[in-house]
Amino acid sequence: MIPAASLDRRIWLRVGAMLDGAGTRPLHNAHIVYDREQILYAGEDAPPRASLNPDQQAPDCDLEDYTLLPGLIDAHTHLFLEGGELDLDKRATYLEQTPEELLGHARARLEKILRLGVIAMRDAGDKHRVGLALSKQYTSSNHPLMPYVDSPGAAIHHHGRYGSFMAEPMRDCGSPHRCVEGRVNAGADRIKLIATGIINFKKGAVTAAPQMSVPEIRDLVAAAKSFGKQTLAHASGDDGIEHVIEGGVDSVEHGFFIRDDQLEKMRDRQIAWVPTFSPVQEQVDHAGRMGWDEHVVTNLKKILDRHAASLVKAHAMGVQVIAGSDSGSCGVAHGLGLLYELELMERAGLSPLAVINSATGAGSRRLAFKENFGQIKPGYRSRFLLTRHSPLESVTNISKDKIVVFDGGALESGGHFNTDGL
């Protein structure tokens, strides 16, 4: 329906509504002009002549019942894992494969993820170098249809503490600086720290002491900065969250049990929050299968309710909230997991527009990606979604049939296609 753009064939669309990824209101009866590489014009006024093909008098398509929004960014994924798999034995067996096999499975997911509307993924770490290989593949000139991927490579943790399936211990490196240097030399786009343990579902709390001290985190962050890299930190439990805030990381990942005063500090210091509801919600959704009794389910629901309340406060306070699914975690399928995460953020009480901005412009502005995407404005890549099901009524409408425009080419994305293996 929508012709493909090339470098000398620009496409001009008029749409009923346009969300630019950052604004506080939709544009109505808006226009977009783009070529294969980038958006040349976006706005409510008719496009200036200079942005159009010579002699073009009218839009290529008039899509008055469509809403246009930026392609989605998933800011927390683990592409080396198969997220949709709930069987814990199968998950363990899966990880016995060679890195090449894990990479092969991850590659097979990429086009499906794109067709679901996710145009970029910030991988959050794996020690099998799957994320690094995909990040490298993306930057090669002849890559297949795939979302942008960047990766920290192996996360950094402490020997004997949580995270050994995706991280390598600090003690292997000699010093925090060498630890960071090794990852940068391996091709890391950013540095991932596992600063705490995870939630003890039976106790309904983070029961282990934080993994990393404030001075350790400061050293790692300083080393990352010396290489021009951002840091993302796995942190749950308010004592560990305090450590990563004081350590000066760029983003707090998960952040379960965060306190209001910590949200204020994050706002003031421009530390982003990626709340990742999905992995915990999946435990509730599949409680029977996971073997959780009523007591545990009550704990999980309480944790999620508190997290939801914090999300609403964070947004109202002006904290930079960025959507990330933690896809690859048990039950969190790639691509689909982000769509579910958005639904959970909406259920928590954010407006659909705020949720969409968290999955588009917020990450685009804060996470120092190597390319411009996630916003609808000139100079940004021509990667966006078109849907007749208004996402401003509910973000769940983004899961319905839509068109994904990726580098100027339009991919139809039916409501139903094979999502096995995600």
- 305 vs 312: CA distance, rounded Å: 11
> Which residues sit at the interface with Zn ion, rule CB under 5 A?
124, 326
Whole-number minimum distance, CB 151 to Zn ion, in Å?
12
Nearer Cβ to Zn ion (329/357): 329
Query: Alpha-carbon Rg of the chain, whole angstroms?
Result: 21
Q: List the beta bridge partners of residue 252.
A: 233, 273
Residues 334, 338, 343, 348, Cα dihedral to 10°: 120
Whole-number minimum distance, CB 328 to Zn ion, in Å?
7
> Which residue's entry shows tokens 């404030």?
214
Nearer Cβ to Zn ion (126/219): 126
Nearer Cβ to Zn ion (124/249): 124
Whole-number minimum distance, CB 117 to Zn ion, in Å?
21
Nearer Cβ to Zn ion (189/326): 326
Question: Minimal CA–CA distance to 281: which of 259, 253, 316, 256?
Answer: 256
- 83 vs 122: CA distance, rounded Å: 16
Whole-number minimum distance, CB 58 to Zn ion, in Å?
48
- 336 vs 79: CA distance, rounded Å: 13
Q: What are phi and psi of 44, to 5 degrees?
A: -80, -25
Nearer Cβ to Zn ion (16/279): 279
- The H or E element containing residue 366 is helix 361-366
Nearer Cβ to Zn ion (181/326): 326
Question: Minimal CA–CA distance to 372: which of 48, 73, 133?
Answer: 73
Structural tokens at position 77: 């994924």
Whole-number minimum distance, CB 387 to Zn ion, in Å?
28
What is the dihedral sign for C-alpha 156, 158, 162, 167? positive
Whole-number minimum distance, CB 279 to Zn ion, in Å?
8
Whole-number minimum distance, CB 324 to Zn ion, in Å?
8
What lies within 8 Å, CB to CB, of 123 at 6+ separation is: 77, 78, 79, 131, 134, 135, 149, 150, 151, 152
Axis crossing angle, helix 278-285 with helix 336-348, rounded to the nearest 10? 90
Whole-number minimum distance, CB 276 to Zn ion, in Å?
7
Structural tokens at position 147: 């979302």
Whole-number minimum distance, CB 78 to Zn ion, in Å?
6
- 380 vs 384: CA distance, rounded Å: 10
- 282 vs 290: CA distance, rounded Å: 10
- 126 vs 80: CA distance, rounded Å: 7
Nearer Cβ to Zn ion (13/233): 233
Nearer Cβ to Zn ion (74/326): 326
Nearer Cβ to Zn ion (121/290): 121
